[in-house]
Structure 1
Amino acid sequence: MDYREFNDEVGRLNRGSYAGLPVVEAPESDGALPEGLPAPEAAAWRISWNGRNDGFEANFRHFLTAVDPAKVSALIVGDWGSAYETSSAQAIGLLVEHAGRFPALRSMFFGAIASEECEISWIQQSDVTPLLEAFPSLERLEVRGGSALLLRPVRHESLRVLRFETGGLPAEVVRAVGESDFPALEYLEMWLGTSDYGGDATVADLAPILSGERLPALRHLGLQDSEIQDEIAAAVASAPVVAGLESLALSMGTLTDEGAEALLSGQPLTHLRHLDLHHHYLTGPMVKHVEAAFAGTGVEVDLSEQEEADDDWRYIAVAE
């Protein structure tokens, strides 16, 4: 799985594409069925509540009658109704209740809520483990929002992509990922965030992931958006999981010269195709040092978004 291509594809969600399909708003319960709806398999269907009709559950049940769910391969779950104060548990319950009607579902983005609707760290999540348990053929799961987010250790044979977008990822979730068995997982991305918003994971919590023992197929690892990015870089420098990777992302956080030096002093990284360090606090000389270290190796290094500390205060890319 090519990191650059996948990363570009992730960014296209806001421009109307997901899982290689155009995003189409699911018909709402209070409106007439639109003409010219695409075939169920030809769209990534976005289900949400607009604040005007009978609510998310009504929209979801209406979708089941308006579109043949048996052919749907991609679902996007947006606002389930006042997500800043209402747990996602009911929305997850609805999906689990009707999981058998979605045999073709392979991709799900749960909590795809724009900041204009609800800031990322205000999204009230819940236990997302039932989504993995109810959809054994799911290949891609992405979750936005870390408040009250929970994951229990689970085994899933089909999952190839797992992403958590948060301004603060609970340590319990990080540990659950490390304790889970994902034999097919190729792409793991976690925005660890800040302790101000519940991002309390330590390097010790990451140890099972860094060992790679339960992630035999992993080709991309993203440990990003962290206020302990230097510590993470130092741990990654000797982590066994790195040998099997094609791409590594330690971006969006507070990486400084100390972390970059630790990374360069560790195991060779020249087998990578991509090394993403964007949004960092490296000095000019260290940027040149990193560039020189990978010159002529074929490794594509992203050192964009060079930030400057404000009186020793450094901020991560995504917090609130």
Structure 2
Amino acid sequence: MSKRPRMEPVRVAAVGCGVVWRHHLQAVLAMEPRLLVYTSVVEPDLSRRLSALKDSGAKKAFATLEEALQADPDQELFEAVDIMVPNVGTLHEEVALIAQKANRHILLEKPISVCIASGQRILQSQGPEKVLAVAENAQYWREVVEAQRLIQSGAIGDVLTVRAKFWESAHPALNEWAADGSYEAGSFIADAAEGFVFDGGLHWLRPLRMFLGKAQSVSAVAGRALPHMRGPGMTQALICFECGVTAVFEAILAPGAISEQPFFVIQGTKGEVVLDGFAGGGRIYCIQDGKMMEQAVVILVVPGR
């Protein structure tokens, strides 16, 4: 029997080498077999650019995507771009359009852009012969997938409500994003109108849609947890879904200490599913033989949430 030919890895340029980049690189280096390889890095900050070049083993480093594309008109160095720049203003759209004009495959960090019109322009500009993929990993968290299966199997009966909590600390000793300066005055998250909730909340909203389907209406309030942050640093929302269930979504960037809290609590007529926080794992609670029973859903530490 002849062996299948080994697929050559996709040659990729990493665009934006901050905290998200480190998680993308970690995932790529853990691939077996290696499906893609970073052949170049693009980062305006010199220190980060040199560090990314060393850590990735890329061949070349550039300050801008335009510079990288000018140096590689025939796609010999990279055929795809992994866009991890801050999602503020129209920056995602600007960088994506540059890559699209150069006819490259695109992996774009979530959210696509800051508004529907900008996102639609990105989608409409992508050529049919090239791939445009959005990097949003919550739909693949094993705990979320297992919770969806439990709901669909009827293990907890009919869903009555879901509570979702997106939380972090802004203290640099407690959070790698804070240690990287992401929440300091002058950072893109602090200065942008979108703020903390918009940037990370998608990781909680996507699972809610997986559990409950399409949202119908939302009632919410937002506020500031950090005085220097322009956009929302916290929010409380009631989301009504077409299935008739109402979910509670809460988000907060705490200035200091905050306790370990579940990401999701799914209450049904026969039991409850709890998905734990950043350490991963979860539990299902049900009644057997007249007693409350607790059983592990899945135990998994997921790096780079």
Q: TM-score range by the shorter chain?
A: 0.3 to 0.5
TM-score w.r.t. length of structure 2: 0.36
TM-score w.r.t. length of structure 1: 0.35
Q: Which has the higher contact order (CA 8 A, sep 6+)?
A: 2
Whose Rg is larger?
2
Higher strand content, 1 or 2:
2
